Structures are given as structure tokens and as C-alpha cells.
Amino acid sequence: MKRLASWLTRAGTGFVRSCVVVAVSLLVPAVWAVAVALWIRVWHGDPWSGIVPLLWACVGTLALVRPVCRMVRSLVARWTGTVIPAGYRQPGPVTQLSTGYWWNGHSYERSDRDALMDQKWRLRWKDPANWRDLRFVAIMPFTAGVSAVIPPAGIAGAIVGLSQPSPVMRLLGVFSGAVAVFRSPDAWRVVEPVAVRFLRPSSAMALAERVDELTAQRADTTVAQAAEIRRIERDLHDGAQARLVALGMSLATVEKLMRTDPDQAAELLRGARAGAATSLAELRDLVRGINPPVLSERGLVDAVRALALDSPLETTVSADARLSLDLPIESALYFGIAELLTNAAKHAHASLARVSIVRDETGVVVDVEDDGRGGADMRTGSGLDGLRRRLAVFDGTLAVTSPAGGPTHVRMMVPCASL
């Protein structure tokens, strides 16, 4: 009985998924069907009368191609767990020059909005993935669509056949219903191999994407290093350096007052000692910002636990005690977790957070979840986009799930050969 109930559940789920696949695969053919119907309606023997239906079909196809492909990737990932990389060209950084103009890698614009818009349309029209997507939407109705249409077509045939008085038609209706029921659990599964075969990036596209990614990483690394050097110089100049200069002046004054006014010299020495302690604390904080000592001495797990104790959120940390990573990877993950916890407290107004660090067959996986108000995204130029680029240096990935109202779940994955 349990097996029957389980099979019926699979059949019902498969039937719904088959209907979804059929609906998605017929979106573009429906546009062309409407164009043909419109052409038949307006046809008066004049060949120019077919321009409007043709334009309708072309514009509708171009508007639907990329959303259909994204929908198929999402469905395949949700139903089977198979993630198909999009392979679309990603925009590079937009930089403001000293002249006030913005450079987007292709042209100079007066504002960042114009630079981003120009960059977006250049990438959209020159992306070779467009031809791949067009090929897929042309193939999908005759592959996954044909297989997925069997259950709904069988149910429709059963309804029509069983409603007829003829015994032959009723027999055909029973046969159609049986075919629909037995094909429902697996009819939709053809969409996975078809999508993997025709939607994944080609080797040339993957190579071009990797070159663009490495170019962007090089630019990000240069900018980050320059910003870090400026921060260190500023912190030293405004903090420890100023205090050490004041300390030197105090000691010079003490040297002159030792014989004439010992009490005032002692007071200056006490102030100098306090200044020296403050300078030492500032230097320690500066070194901790560059590379936390606990990270070098005790590893990523203990460093994250220490970070959780200092976090304003109530943070729980679960981790694999056997985890052992290279220091650059540990540093990237540590500062990534620190940034996510800071964002959760500052922007999402969260009160609880959970950090999980585990290892699997491919690498290390870090999950950070909070109970904030959500709405986080990886738009170009955001902090999450910068974190994604920093992880990409190690071939890592960043996935963000943050619906409006929360919760926010961020997964960082970095492949490692030896853990």
C-alpha cells in the first residue's frame, strides 16, 4: 500500500512537472503561431502585409529566449539538483576617471548610469550565448516538449475517449489514460539531458568567460591592494605615528624638567606611558585587521568562533574540527564571514545568525544564515558582488537566497584538493 501511495505521489508530481515543461517549451512557438494567425488574417495578396507579423514574431522571440533558458535552468536545478552554468558575459567594473567621465571598458560616458546601460546592451548583443539560447528554444519543443506532452495528452485523450458511446473510442480512452499514468513519473526527465547538452557554455565561451573573469580579478586585486595600503598608511599616520611623535616630545620635555620640576616630569612620564600603551593597542588592532593572529595560530574554525563572540548578533557556529586549509583561503573565508555578519547586523537588522563550516568531496562549504529582513542581492558593485569576485580568485562560488522579509542564506564554496 505504501509503495502504491509513493508511486501515485511520484506520478502526480511528474504530471505537474510535465505540464510545466510543455508550457515553457511552447512559449516561443506560441509567439510564432500568433504571428501566423495574424498573417493569415491580414493577408490580402500583398507581400508587405507580412512585415508586421514577422516583426511580432522576431521581437517576441528575442524577448523570450533568455527568460525561457533561465527558467529551464532554474527548473532543472530545483527538480534534479543539476546546476547548469549560464555562461553569459558578465559586465566589468565601471570606473570614474579624473576627468569626471565614466569608463565601462568600451566607451566614455558622462554618468555611471549611461556607462552601465551602454555596457549592458553591448554585452547583450555581442554575447555568443544568444545563438546557443536560440538553438535551445528551437530544439526544446521537439525533444523535451514531445516527451513531456505525453501525460497531459494522454489524460485529454482519456477524457475524450471515455465520453464517447463507441466501445472502440472508450478502449482508446482507457489506453490513453494508462499511457498517461505510467509515463507521468518520468516523462519530464528528458528536459535535464537536453538542457545539459544544449544550454551549457561551449569550450570557447567558457574560455572567454574565464579570461574576462581573470581580467576583472586582476583589476579588483590591484584596487584592493591600493585601498588596503592607503588604509594602513592613514591608520598609522592618524593613530600610532601621531602618538609616537607626541611621546617623543613628552620625553624631550621630561629630560629638561627632571632637575627643575620632578613632579611635572613624573606627570609627563605617566602620560607618555599611557600614550605608549594606546599606540601599542592601535598597532595590534591594525595588525589584526591585516591578518587576525587567531587565524594564523588556531585556524579558521576557532577564528570564526572568536568572531562570533564579538558579533552583536547571537551567533552559533558549527564546524568540522578536522578542517585544514591554506592560509589565503582561510583568510578569504574569514573576512567573508565577517562581512556577512556585519551586513546582517547593520543592514538586515537581524538578531540571530548561524554559521556552518563543513567539508565535502569537492571542497569547503560555508553557510551563513540570519533572521533579518532579507532583500540582499549581488548587483554589480555591491559588497556581495565584491565578495563573489574575491572567492572567484580561488575558483569559489557565492550563492545568495534572500527573499523580501527574510531569512537570508548565503553559501560560499571553495574547491580544495587537500583539506
Identify the pLDDT of residue 110.
79
Identify the pLDDT of residue 419.
43
- On whether the pTM is more than 0.85, the answer is no
Report residue 373 CA to chain centroid gap.
Answer: 19
Identify the pLDDT of residue 285.
62
Task: Kindly state the cell numbers that stand for 43.
Answer: 493577408
Identify the pLDDT of residue 321.
66
Q: Where are the beta strands (DSSP E) in 97-248?
A: 102-103, 108-109
Provide block-wise average pLDDT over 10 residues at a time, the chain (419 residues).
72 86 89 83 68 81 88 88 79 72 76 80 78 88 88 84 80 81 84 87 67 63 59 63 69 72 73 71 62 71 82 82 74 83 81 85 84 75 74 80 83 73
Return the exposure string of 317-356: e unless at least 16 CB atoms fall within 10 Å of the residue's CB, then b.
Answer: bebeeebebeeebbbbbbbbbbbbbebbbeebebeebbbe
Identify the pLDDT of residue 227.
59
334 CB-near residues (< 8 Å, 6+ apart) = 292, 295, 300, 303, 304, 307
